[in-house]
A and B are shown apart, each in its own frame.
Chain A
Amino acid sequence: MLYREVGQFKTTYAADMAMFPIRQDRVALWLVLLVAFVGIPMLSANQIWPFGSDYLLRAILMPFLILALAAIGVNILVGYCGQISLGSGAFMAIGAYSAYKFGTGVSFPLPFAGFDVSIPPLPMLFSILLGGLMAAFVGILFGIPSLRIKGLYLAVATLAAQFFFDWVFIRVKWFTNYTPSGSVNAPELNFFGFLVNSSIEKYLLCLIFVTVFAFIAKNLVRGNLGRQWRAIRDMDIAAELMGIRPLYAKLTAFAVSSFIVGVAGALWAFIYLGSWEPLAFSIDRSFQLLFMVIIGGLGSILGSFLGAAFILILPIMLDQVPHALGVPISVETVSHLVFIVTGSLICYLLIVEPHGFAQLWSTAKEKLRLWPYPY
């Protein structure tokens, strides 16, 4: 009876169509936001456990937030619009390298015109958002085949994006500003005069980005556009006969998804990594994101967070728990175990609960609603 919505009558459609129509959900959301925005910074400022060192912030919370953001992007494309993508890593890379170029100044020689196009280094926020825009643009380009290609065939098209851009960022030195090693350093994180340096500042920055984009994503998927995406996913022919233009629905999904993934890529490079190589955005990253979405829940924003958390925490657990139990296992074995557990979980969820953790969560809520009575 903890989670009871009886008595919460809605008298307007606006209330019925709210983002979280049930009061308990709203309270929970505010609590989470309160802890994330106020609680954690306070604990961290006073060095209270578990925030005594910034390990938790730097090694877990920051990657969690950024990868959850990327997973939201992937979920829009795969979970909501039903277009499988194995190339998300490439779109993160495009976001990262474009933001890097805009942040350090673009100079593009045009020999035939006789002059150079040059843009001075842009403010950090604009660079990151422009990185997202570039990813969205390329996403649209690679999304065009999706109008004619379906299912597995589309997976190959996205793989083409992955491998092509892997190669581009290794071979085309212009993108790395001709650094000899091919690895690049992020410009200083200057947000309109405010320098983001400490772990807690970086954490808060990521948190702001994730919160804003999660709300935007939630608004989109519950509105008209989101219905079009889901209609295309569930039954594309019927959707078209309802007047939904496949071109518009699919390309907006590619654009929005790639934009969010691109922004996540820029954050990953600038804030989490600091300096990076093209390998940071390889096909492994694409699979990692896809797994987060499948495990967390296809077609669920909450699921993107759950999936990201699980995929990040699993290797740490597999490393720490045996140690704590006095059974030391090698780093290699841990990585193999991660493979096995992740793979098994994917298969298990596909068989038992195709909508992932998010669905388990709503089933649990359904049970709580009736608790302690079975019916």
Chain B
Amino acid sequence: MIAFGQFTEVLLGGLLAGFLYSLVALGFVLIFKASGVFNFAQGAMVLLAGLALVRSLDFLVAKGFPYWIAVVIALLFAAAIMALTAWVIERFVLGPLVNQDGLTLFMATIGATFIIEGAAQMAFGSDVYPLRLFPTDAIFMFENTFPGGILVNKLDLWGAAIAAVLVAGLAVFFQYTKTGRALRAVADDHAAAQSVGIPISWIWFVVWLVAGLVALVAATVWGTKLSVQFSITFLALKALPVLIIGGFTSVPGAVIGGLLIGAGEKIAEAYLGPYIGGGIEYWFAYVLALLVLLVRPQGMFGERIIERV
């Protein structure tokens, strides 16, 4: 039973960490669904949101504001920054690139990544800033089922809950609102969507704003976990394999992909790590994604593409 308890602990830890990956992956899915753009800048947006949040929070607290008021103001400030970013990206980067092919847009978002990373650090500093929005202590669960129970971090539970709420909200947004339908039309074909009168620049602004807000949410959780620092941008890279497995267009897929990767890498680290040297987490997700691609080139949940000439 002890071995099984250990396994469950690793698995649960992995699944909860997976929810955190899903939080970042969600932002990608949103933008991809709405514009067909694979947004490499999502990780940089998490960094920007985190820095705006933590720096304004520290500033307000130092000025003597009560903590919770400071948190609310700081969140609003960070949201405003994300709105500004969304506008700038739409206006100056993506707007002029309407109707270009996916790879060009992808490379443009790599460019945007560097602009955001540079600007964010120049404006808000480039140190490590701790953020304390959620409790981070560990608790024991299932003490009746397993001897000694299972060690779980409260922060991971918060992350899972937030991810669940976001997914539900976004699913409703895409399926049932007029804007959501317009978003899907734009993703399918820019020119066709424009021709039926969908205001593409407004739609893109909205979607980048929503993605920015998702990045802000991700930043609150990740910032609490790792502190707000530059290495948070590598999350963007971790979200890539999540998307390969979950599919670029599926909101639930992003969650499932995140869970699979989170659980997979923790289990691999715990059970394979001792044999081939630690640090497997560093590459496990990518190699897993590569293997998935070899079997199903369109990703786990992607639709088969019928090519035409």
Contacts and interface: CB of A to CB of B under 8 A. Distances in A.
Interface stretch (B64-72, B96-104, B187-195): B96-104
A156 B294 contact: no
B118 A148 contact: no
A145 B293 contact: yes
Interface string A159-176: 110011011001110000
A310 B277 CA distance: 40
Given A153-B244, A338-B118, A171 B286 contact: no
Interface residues of B, number: 47
Contacts of A150: 297
B140 interface: no
A152 B118 contact: no
B202 interface: no
A156 B290 contact: yes
Contacts of B240: 155-156, 159
Given A153-B299, A160-B283, A163-B283, A347 B111 contact: yes
B113 A343 contact: yes
A75 to B, nearest CB: 14
A360 interface: no
Nearest to B278: A171
A290 B93 CA distance: 19
B161 interface: no
B122 A333 contact: yes
A332 B126 contact: yes
Given A172-B277, A351-B96, A343 B115 contact: yes
Given A153-B297, A153-B299, A346 B287 contact: no
Nearest to A157: B290
A351 B279 CA distance: 40
B107 interface: yes
A155 B282 CA distance: 17
Contacts of B217: none
B119 interface: yes
Interface in B234-251: 237, 240-241, 244, 248
B110 interface: yes
A276 B205 CA distance: 45
A238 interface: yes
Contacts of B297: 148-150, 153
Given A339-B115, A354-B104, A156 B289 contact: yes
Contact of B103 (A151, A167, A283, A340): A151
Contacts of A294: 107
B92 interface: yes
Interface in B253-309: 276-280, 282-283, 286-287, 289-290, 293-294, 297, 299, 307, 309
A334 to B, nearest CB: 10
Contacts of B294: 145, 148
Interface of A: 82, 84, 145, 148-153, 155-157, 159-160, 163-164, 166-167, 170-172, 237-238, 241, 283, 287, 290, 294, 332-333, 336-340, 342-347, 350-351, 354
Given A148-B293, A170-B279, 16 more contacts: A148-B297, A151-B106, A152-B38, A152-B106, A153-B293, A157-B290, A157-B293, A163-B282, A167-B282, A333-B122, A339-B115, A339-B121, A340-B114, A340-B119, A343-B114, A350-B104
